[in-house]
Structure 1
């Protein structure tokens, strides 16, 4: 009997060891998939944006400095390039429409169905779409085709869900393997850290590749990395056990109805009220909208006067911006020792407002450096609000939750493409940085939206401390 008693603890210990090993493998795959995807996407988007500007400049008979050595003076950056920038902004908006309109339905479908069929399928699908997108783009660049053929890649990415469906599945995966506390917020923030690392690695290298090798080689690198990412996606373990999945007896109408369940009654939430969920969603909408177009906007802003940046200088700036994401995640960990998520979200909004205001007034590198410093925690508002929302929802509804979140981000992308590119195109003649003040106004509205959520959290502090179930 004694020997049996001694042996029985070995079984759960062995199961714990297997579970820990599986979680480590999941986190490693999440890290690799996120980094590879963002490296691929940033390389691809930079190539598409700069190729579009180059193509339009050539058609207009203008000389673009993107693929030539940048002179110390502004000779290559005259005011007559404003027309090329205007048209480039319009084409960038068209790319967004073609890619993200089809993605709307895929994001809803992918998020809801991941609660029934698991996360892995909806990780693989958008990664495959990214590979197909940049393979099609590579053909356009290789044969120097008209920029209208770039729409083919946009359509392929759109019908496979784009990176928003991937983010739904990745956040659902994190919810499957984390607790209902601040650790979940931090793990969601780690996705932003991985994205920042991918950004730093790709931004600078892409600028130099475009300068010395043209557009084809960096696009080939994006195709290769996206194929490797597809292989990693095939290797990630499924995290949503069949016992935790929603029963597959619901019909399609009932499944899609779960997408809207959070808006109808507080009984559909694990903790909190419908108004808290809606305010968090509203805050996300106005905060995310500027960030969805910022990278492409920065390119248009920097290639003109007074900056006249070359592709490698754009890469340097974007790399420095990417480093702030890495720093912000570590600062978030420190802030969690003394502040709750709601306060951090509001402080992050102040950081974003300061960053955009300084960038809108910038006239040289030193002011851009100040803008980067002001925005060091600006992006923390995104994972923090997502973490708050995830804690409001039970474990079997996480896919539907993040479908709501990333459908909203997709709509923000379309909204931002419609509004911000047009604002830039129409205001660049009298104030080229005007759009950044519009960005700051949106961030301010997000911060204001979080104030009632903060007040509610202070009145019910147990909501933050009582949630630690789920292993």
Structure 2
């Protein structure tokens, strides 16, 4: 089911996010919402009438073709970029969006267990599908964030689509000499080195804390995971807001990455539950680089290419989601008989590499102006349509 959703997501998430630069954000947010709604509704019907379990693969495929959560996250970030000026406020608001998404995920996971226990899977899926209608209703009343005069003209050219998707990483921006391809490459590479171990750890952490010396019961695991998510998201939001008074985004991201390195090493050697909790608290700020890196890349990108830039991040994030869990489970299964903590040491090496990349990003940012340099009353040639568009 993961592959049935993940493979079409590689195309749909990137395509929809890129198209949003020309057609607006709302239509593609709606498409992704419809996919999620249909998946939940069809699964509800399938459970109620006891359809063959393999038909669930089709439901996941439909969700993947509609863009699913990957498109929603990338377009939510693009909408924040549309509404904010280049600066620290954008970084904080992107972190705020991430906070709300994470809170929604944690709340849904927590509440769904009680609903299924009290009412069963059918009602749980029915309530899930009805809940999916809410954002579509809210979306109707939200104004489009990308106005007509800021959009590009798009010709249906697949070659141009892929060219624009990778343009940030192979070609320097002629309008901003400090927004170089190397800064994009460093940012995206650091993003990958953080997302992979983070997603990989989710797939093995449950098995790790169920074993000795922790021996967590299922109820305790749920409470521990939910509490850790809430504390982490709160610390990230508050920490970014406070640290922005003295530090730039790159430095704050480095602090978060280093805290993850320390946390993962401590988890790998944790001899007791109290030590595990301390390690988790130290790593509470560890996911802060993700919204900050998104913000860093957004600030280097002109308004009419925000969707395309976020499309590239969405594709990479989806690949990491598919690879991370498999990688984590594979490493754990191979090394568990030697030392259960080895998997976390491997993950910490990825995070250490991300820290090194962020150091290079900090060094390069010293030569960078704060914000995207816009040339007034000028035009540029856009490679999607090969036509001139106004960028002011």
Alignment partners' CA distance in 1, 2:210 and 2:122: 21
- Cα distance per residue 1:163-205 (max 9 Å; x no partner): 1111121111111100011111111111111123224423433
Unaligned runs of 5+ in 2: 377-390
**Matching of residues 142-157 of structure 1 within 5 Å:** 142=48, 148-157=54-63
Q: Which residue of 1 aligns with 2:82?
A: 176
Alignment partners' CA distance in 2, 1:429 and 1:288: 26
CA gap of 1:269–1:96, structure 2 versus 1, over 3 A, is farther
CA gap of 1:370–1:282, structure 2 versus 1, over 3 A, is same
Q: CA deviation at 1:301?
A: 3.5
Q: How many residues are aligned here?
A: 375
Check if 1:229 corresponds to 2:135: yes
Q: What is the root-mean-square deviation in Å for CA atoms of aligned residues?
A: 2.8
**Matching of residues 194-343 of structure 1 within 5 Å:** 194-209=100-115, 215-249=121-155, 251-267=157-173, 270=176, 271-323=178-230, 324-343=232-251
Q: CA deviation at 1:277?
A: 0.8
2:343 paired residue among 435, 443, 449: 435
Q: CA deviation at 1:159?
A: 1.2
1:463 is paired with a residue whose SS is coil
1:408 paired residue among 294, 316, 330: 316
Q: Which residue of 2 aligns with 1:105?
A: 11
Alignment partners' CA distance in 2, 1:234 and 1:430: 56
2:153 is paired with a residue whose SS is coil
Alignment partners' CA distance in 1, 2:30 and 2:217: 36
1:266 is paired with a residue whose SS is coil
2:35 paired residue among 126, 129, 137: 129
Alignment partners' CA distance in 2, 1:215 and 1:309: 25
Does structure 2 retain, via aligned residues, the 8 Å contact 1:204–1:312? no
CA gap of 1:357–1:140, structure 2 versus 1, over 3 A, is farther
CA gap of 1:427–1:223, structure 2 versus 1, over 3 A, is farther
Alignment partners' CA distance in 2, 1:211 and 1:300: 23
Alignment partners' CA distance in 2, 1:306 and 1:224: 42
Q: Which residue of 2 aligns with 1:351?
A: 259
Alignment partners' CA distance in 1, 2:175 and 2:74: 18
Check if 1:380 corresponds to 2:271: no
Q: CA deviation at 1:255?
A: 3.6
2:25 paired residue among 119, 139, 149: 119
Does structure 1 retain, via aligned residues, the 8 Å contact 2:268–2:344? yes
- TM-score if structure 1 supplies the norm length? 0.72
Does structure 2 retain, via aligned residues, the 8 Å contact 1:113–1:399? yes
Unaligned runs of 5+ in 1: 1-94
Q: CA deviation at 1:278?
A: 0.7
Q: CA deviation at 1:328?
A: 1.1
1:421 paired residue among 322, 329, 334: 329
Q: Which residue of 1 aligns with 2:379?
A: none
Q: CA deviation at 1:377?
A: 1.1
Q: Which residue of 2 aligns with 1:7?
A: none
Does structure 1 retain, via aligned residues, the 8 Å contact 2:200–2:326? no
Alignment partners' CA distance in 2, 1:197 and 1:151: 28
CA gap of 1:313–1:207, structure 2 versus 1, over 3 A, is farther
CA gap of 1:146–1:356, structure 2 versus 1, over 3 A, is farther
Alignment partners' CA distance in 2, 1:394 and 1:383: 18
Q: Which residue of 2 aligns with 1:368?
A: 276
More moved, 319-328 vs 339-348: 319-328
